[in-house]
Amino acid sequence: MEWADADSFLTNAGIYMTDIGPGPVTAFDIHQLLPHPLNLIAVTLSGSELEILIHEIIRKQEELEKIPLRGFGFRGEFFGTVLMKRASFDPIRGLPLFDGEPISSLKKYRIVTHDTLVFAPFFPIIKQARKKEVYTPELLRDIFAWKLKQLYGEEKE
């Protein structure tokens, strides 16, 4: 999120192919975790568009978890759980939330995701967003490595 100055990060658990264990993490470990060349794309959504996205996620979640993704240049088995930081849904009120609060129709929300979720047909509201910013040449794994270095420092030889 911070790398792209976004309000939230939208991803799916199926893109992460392994776990990162304790101890030093190498470039090989990161490549094993994220072997596919995913670019980040930031989309700017209105409050009502964000509400539509969260409704789409809730409505499609169970179906998407088990959907195979072969043919999208994807090396995973299944789509997996949809993960969107800071977004939630109040099932009692049927209300999409951001940071636990109702979404403001007056605010714009900058959501960063990877290209699979922009170009694949899972969430049409993302594809329809008018404002998109594509980040290249950096890949998701490069940004993951950047964040690890920021948190834990450079690996010692």
Please report the domains of the chain, with CATH numbers, ordered by start residue: 2-152 (3.90.780.10)
Positive or negative, the CA dihedral 29, 85, 119, 110 is negative
**How far out from the chain centre does Cα 125 lie?**
15
Taking residues 80-100, report their average pLDDT.
95
Q: How confident is the model at residue 106 (pLDDT cuts 50, 70, 90)?
A: very high
- Phi first, then psi: give them for residue 152, nearest 5 degrees: -120, -5
Taking residues 71-77, report their average pLDDT.
60
Q: How confident is the model at residue 60 (pLDDT cuts 50, 70, 90)?
A: very high
pLDDT at 3 over 70: yes
- For 127, residues 6+ apart whose C-beta sits below 8 A from its C-beta are 118, 119, 121
Q: What is the pLDDT of residue 70?
A: 64
Positive or negative, the CA dihedral 12, 16, 19, 25 is negative
**What is the rounded average pLDDT for all residues in the chain?**
90
Q: How confident is the model at residue 63 (pLDDT cuts 50, 70, 90)?
A: very high
Q: What is the pLDDT of residue 120?
A: 84
Taking residues 55-75, report their average pLDDT.
81
Q: How far apart are CA 70 and CA 120, in angstroms?
A: 12
Q: What is the pTM of this model?
A: 0.88
Nearest to 56 by CA among 140, 125, 104: 125
